[in-house]
Amino acid sequence: MRNLDNRKYTIALVFLLISVTFTVRLFYMQVVDGQWKERAAQISENKISTYPARGIVYDRNNVKIISNEIYYDIHVIPKQVKDVDSFKLAKLLDITIEKYSEKMAAAKDYSYRKSSEIVRQIPPNEFALIAPELYKYPGFFEVARTLRVYPKKIASHVLGYMNEASPADIEKDRYYKPGDYIGRSGIEKMYENYLRGQRGVKYYLQDAIGIPTSRYEDGKYDTLAVQGKNITLTLDWELQAYGEELMKNKLGSIVAIEPSTGEILAMISAPDYDPNLLVGRHLSKNYTKLQQDTLLPLYNRSISSKNPPGSTFKTLMALVGMQTGAITENSSFACNRSLSGCHNHPTARNVSDGVKMSCNPYFISLTRRIIQPGKVKSIFKDAALGMDVWAKHVKSFGIGEDLHTDLPSVVRGKVPTREYYDNEFPSKRNPYGQYRWAFSTIYSNSIGQGEVLTTPLEMANIAAAIANRGQFFYPHFIKEIEGEYLPDLYTNPVKTTIDTTYFRPVIDGMWRVVHEPGGTARRARIDSLNVCGKTGTAENFKMVHGKRIQMTDHSIFMAFAPKDNPQIAISVYVENSGFGGTWAAPIASLMIEKFIRGEISDKAKETRVLEANLIPDEDDYLKK
Amino acid sequence: MRNQENKIFANIDWTLFVIYIVLVLLGISNIYSSVYNPEKSNIFNLDTEHGKQIMWFGVSLFFGIVILFLESNFIRKYAYWFYGFTMFLLVAVLFTPPINGARSWFGFGSVGIQPSEFAKIGVALALSRFFDQAHSFSDRASSFNKKVGLSNLWGMVPFILKNKETALILGIPCVLVLLQPDAGTFIIFTSFILVLYREGYAGNMLLFMVIAIIIAVITLLVADSSFELPLTDIKLSGKAGIIITLVVLVGIFALLIKNFILKRNRKSLYKSLFGSLLVAVIFVNFIEVGYSNILQSHQKVRIDLLLGKIDDPDGDGYNINRAKAAIGSGGFIGKGYKQATLANAHQKHVPMQSTDFIFCTWSEERGFIGSFLLVSLYTFLLLKIVVIAERQRSHFTRVYAYCVGSIFFYHFLINVGMAIGLAPVIGIPLPFFSYGGSSMMSFSVLIFILIKLDSERKIVLQ
């Protein structure tokens, strides 16, 4: 018989071998190899963000103009749903039965035990009707979230709106996650980083389905959400609301600035819309409607439209003329209508007269002296040198320059320069070329009708610069950010190139425009308030089927008041309404009076403006 | 009578008993930790798994004491009866309504009994009884081995034909559990090969098994693939590749034999060499056909996952991926008692965490130190059983001890191996750790019978 006893060793060896193998494997998995720890974390841990309340926005008098409101999403956990009357529920939630079925199917598809959204962003007033009924539908519940509310329903263009962060936003700033809201335009966009605050994170352990079961490490790594910063704007909500009221049924804009600080008191672009339209579940529907409106209610004319400044520009020509020595305060020019038309008026015997009567030939002659000072023999070279001087002075008023206004996509106007006429005018393909043009080519600029372009914001800034007698502050909306300092940018004055002394005759003329018989803006007069202003009429061309067609002029008025210690500088544009004195001037005066006195003395003037409908064509803009 | 009692307890192997108690208590505390619920924190709460497990432990102890007071002759005498009874249960269970696609359970209200757990005891007893009677078995086996030659790898078939009784004792339960179907228990029944080995059956059995496993793994790895024969355009299946390789290997061996072996020995070597080739080719085909045509798709997937042919951590590989993550995340010292975040009853990341994957909870909470401790405890238990087996003068007890050892070994091998990704996913319990009444009772009874039989090691021959 063979000895089988040794086989016990074999068996014991097999047992030991397996144990050693297991031990080595376990050591590798548990101690050496990190991948399983990572994998375990990936499987069992997750985090949720906690969202802070977004910063509140106040007007200059500490009245809330942007605030937060709790909206409600309706969610469902399919597993908990019991014999639901779909038709009744769909009706309660104000959705179609098809939409309801579709959402329910998607929810079941996603998970039976996890919640899915059925309806999103129900405003509180609508939810008040749903809430008492909701308990009858097990499995359905509300999830609160805060959204923006604009209690005064004003300044839609300035305040802007928010929507969901796009993939591009997320790409740009990793802070954002799909589903987050981000300021899309206006102040909401400009001060996004202050307003949004800092999201908090809660780490938790989840079960196999993804439902949180407990906090991770007792919340050791959790962070608290940091409340967004409240900000105060320079806007005066009452003035803003009043301006919007005045601009009803009109196209155009109003920009009002406090000259002593550059604070923007009101910025109106008509037509506008109720900013609350772009909040909540109807956002995209409403946005599409607004976008398709031919009157462009989404377009902020105050900072985006460029027009020739018209006669308002004459004030600058007078200032530049005196500064360069081309004229003196008492220079007189005959009303020679060889280059332009004019209206019947007495001869302008000095700068003040010229401004008051807005005599076209006066300013053409004046500007000729600036552009063609006769220092060089060649009129072409002379014009080029003159143009450099002219452009420098005009630009110093901020036209075509960066005004550092705190709104996204502020458009700049344009000051034509020597280079512009050399290389780009009349067209880039076929320009005049160097020393091939002279004053006679560009004289229209003298009366604000040439190549010079200004935006309403720039126009208001010019008014502020004149009101301040030669300096301005960058126009801005921000007055205070909770716990932050404002940039020096907004507190340091910007000097124009014109000496203070030259402003007196121009301002005098502007006062006479409003207050003296024969002035072009008598409608801007306010009892016992010294308003200084200047009318303008921007010629308005529109491309229709490739042809340049002249439309009714835009009515412009630029003003400030009171004459001494000005409190408000303003520009008013009323599109397609003709001469500046007719509509723009009275609107400006109403705004001025509203701001300075808080009430309107001339009710007839107010009624005339409020009742006017100056929108050309059909009244097809969005009904609020 | 008093004398008798003293004798019973005097010769009990307390070490084995203590290992058993330690494993059971660790197992219960582990289940308590994994399902811990502050609202049902009472460890004896019968609504909970740990509460029930304690109850089953109590029942097991009761059976254990009954066994200790039995005459060991009684156990020997009724071994076949018990075997017959468990086989009857295995037949009867086939007529119950299926649960999860298998007819494995007798349901009594909320309690279920799994007869296949007790069939292991029946088979162990029957095998012991049979070998006890066939005292000359070892001689028969060794003479057989001599006759056909040690190197003959195909010895199994004639062996089984020759030893019909053994084949029958093992074959009946195998067929019956496959009918349920319960692949896990079937594999446990193959553990008795170790017993046969110890009792003198073909010595090359283990070598044969190792070679067979290697060939099987290679076959499975290349089963679905094909390759181009070098220097030609002929496309061949993976199977053909293996067979060609085998033929080439045999050719090389034949040449070696021709050149280096004495002529008179050559003939028998040639015979076994080519015989082996034939067996190997048949085996390859058997594996390939079995894998492609007989295995159910989920079984194929489990094999593919094990072999790394597919990787699908959130789909087919979900179970094993979660199990490995739980174990791996335990680190060196573990996450602590009741601190498992994957392998616990609330998170449910690891499926069947309290039964088949209970090792994950232990490893996650106790880390490598705990894993090592548990592996060591089991190894100690297995080696202790070998020691106990080898000190018996009774053939019955020795065979029985090896049966118990083999069963525990297989459960340990497959359950832990599966959790750490070294064995395919087969749902069998880890002795004393996995939640379940049937397994707790059957493992306890196995141990207690061994303790009882061992305690009389000195009496038997008196």
Tell me whether residue A139 is exposed, middle or buried, using C-beta atoms within 10 angstroms of its C-beta: 0 to 12, 13 to 18, 19 or more: middle
Distance, CA of B342 to CA of B339 (rounded, Å): 9
**B197–chain A Cβ distance below 8 A for any pair:** yes
pLDDT at A621: 34
Pairing of strands A200-206, A471-472: unpaired
Name the residue with higher pLDDT: A106 or B312.
A106
Asked which of B202, B236, B261 is the last residue of a domain, the reply is B202
- Best B199, B344, B371 member to test A by mutation, with max A CBs in 10 Å, is B371
pLDDT value of residue B206: 67
* B321 sits in which H/E element: helix B318-328
B79 in any annotated domain: yes
pLDDT at B148 exceeding the cut of 70: no
User: What value does the mean pLDDT take over residues B159-177?
Assistant: 79
Nearest-CA distance B369 → chain A (Å): 9
What domains can you pick out in chain A, each with its CATH number? 45-63+154-233 (3.90.1310.10), 68-151 (3.90.1310.10), 237-280+294-478+494-611 (3.40.710.10)
Q: What is the arithmetic mean of pLDDT over B8-26?
A: 90
- B10: confidence class by pLDDT, cuts 50, 70, 90: confident
Residue B163 lies inside a defined structural domain of this protein: yes
Measured in whole angstroms, how far is the alpha carbon of residue A267 from the centre of its chain?
Answer: 9
Distance CA A398, CA A463 (A): 11
Q: How confident is the model at residue B162 (pLDDT cuts 50, 70, 90)?
A: low
Cβ neighbours of A40 in B, within 8 Å: 325-326, 328-329, 341-342
Instruction: Give the Cβ contact number of residue A38 at 10 Å.
Output: 13
Same domain, B243 and B189: no
Interface test with B, best of A4, A7, A11 (most B CBs within 10 A): A11
B176 lies in which domain range? 74-202
Which residues lie below 8 Å from residue A109, measured CB to CB, with a gap of 6+? none
- Does B420 contact A26 at a Cβ distance shorter than 8 Å? yes
Which of B149, B172, B202 lies at the terminal end of a domain, its last residue? Answer: B202
Q: Are residues B239 and B171 in the same domain?
A: no
Q: What is the mean pLDDT of chain A?
A: 89
**Same-domain check for residues B241 and B281:** yes
| CA distance, residue B126 to nearest chain A CA (Å) | 22
CA of A3: which chain B residue's CA is closest?
Answer: B200
Window 333-372 of B: residues touching A by CB (8 A cutoff) are 341-342, 346-349, 351, 363, 367-368, 371-372
Let me know whether B362 and B244 are in one domain. Answer: no
Provide, as residue numbers in chain A, all residues whose Cβ is less than 8 Å from the Cβ of B314: none
State the Cα–Cα distance between residues A14 and A75, nearest whole angstrom.
Answer: 59
Q: What is the CA B249 to chain-centroid distance, rounded? A: 33
Which residues of chain B does A10 touch, with a Cβ-Cβ cutoff of 8 Å?
Answer: 197, 206
Residues of A in contact with B341 (CB under 8 A): 40, 44-45, 205
Taking an 8 Å cut-off on Cβ atoms, the answer to whether A37 and B346 are in contact is: no
Q: Is residue B217 part of a domain?
A: yes
Q: Shortest CB distance from B197 goes to which of A7, A45, A206?
A: A7
Name every residue whose Cβ is closer than 8 Å to that of residue A547 and which is 6 or more positions away in sequence: none
d(CA A166, CA B345): 40
Mean pLDDT of chain B: 83
- Strands A64-76 and A57-58, by their bridges, are antiparallel
Residues B394 and B434 in one domain: yes
For range B318-336, the mean pLDDT: 90
- Does residue B452 lie within any of the structural domains? no
Mark yes or no for CB contact B328/A21 under 8 Å: no
Residues B21 and B122 in one domain: no
Cβ contacts of B147 on chain A, cutoff 8 Å: none
One-letter identity of residue A212: P
Q: In this predicted structure, what is the pLDDT of residue A81?
A: 86
B163 plus B255 within the same structural domain: no
DSSP string, B133-185: H-TTHHHHHHHHHHHH-TT-GGGHHHHHHH-HHHHHHHHHHHHHHHHTT-HHH
Which of B249-258's residues contact partners 24+ apart within 8 Å by CB, and which partners? B250/B274, B250/B276, B250/B277
Residues B172 and B193 in one domain: yes
What's the confidence (pLDDT) of residue B246? Answer: 85
Task: Give the best residue of A43, A46, A211, A216 to mutate against chain B (max B CB count within 10 A).
Answer: A43
Same domain, B395 and B336: yes
Instruction: Tell me how many residue pairs between chain A and chain B have CB atoms under 8 A apart.
Output: 129
CB of B330 within 8 Å of a chain A CB? The answer is yes
Q: How many domains does chain B have?
A: 3
Measured between alpha carbons, how far is A583 from A560 in angstroms, rounded to an integer? Answer: 17
Which of A10, A22, A206 to probe the B interface (max B CBs under 10 A)? A22
Q: Does A18 touch chain B (CB under 8 A)?
A: yes
Q: What is the mean pLDDT of residues A260-264?
A: 95
Q: How confident is the model at residue B308 (pLDDT cuts 50, 70, 90)?
A: confident
- Tell which of B259, B294, B329 closes a domain: B294
Q: How confident is the model at residue B98 (pLDDT cuts 50, 70, 90)?
A: confident
Q: Name every chain A residue with its beta carbon within 8 A of the beta carbon of B402.
A: 11
- B117 and B234 in a single domain? The answer is no
Q: What is the pLDDT of residue B146?
A: 47
Q: Do B346 and A1 touch (CB under 8 A)?
A: no
pLDDT of residue B393: 84
Asked if B276 is an interface residue toward chain A (Cβ–Cβ < 8 A), one would say: no
What are A227-237's pLDDT values in tens digits? 899 999 999 99
Q: Does B151 touch chain A (CB under 8 A)?
A: no
Check whether A622 has a pLDDT greater than 70: no
Residue A227, H or E segment:
none
Give the tens place of pLDDT for each residue, B276-295: 888 888 888 888 888 887 77
Min distance A111 CA to chain B CA atoms (Å): 16
Rounded-to-integer distance, Cα A172 and Cα A528, Å: 55
**Considering the domain boundaries, does residue B13 fall inside one?**
yes
Q: Which residues of B touch A29 (CB under 8 A)?
A: 324, 327-328, 420
For residue B68, being part of any structural domain is answered with: no
B361 and B265 housed in the same domain: no
In single-letter form, the type of residue at position A5 comes to: D
Residue B453 lies in a domain: no
pLDDT tens for each residue of A27-61? 999 999 888 888 888 888 888 878 888 999 999 99
Task: Check whether residue B189 and residue B162 sit in a common domain.
Answer: yes
Label the pairing between strands A116-122 and B111-113. Answer: unpaired
Q: Which residue in chain A is spatially nearest to B369 when comparing CA positions? A: A27
Q: Is residue B62 part of a domain?
A: no
Highest mean pLDDT among A106-115, A207-216, A557-566, B147-156: A557-566
Give B105-129 pLDDT, tens digit per residue: 888 777 788 899 899 999 999 999 8
Cross-chain residue pair A12–B326, CB shorter than 8 Å: no
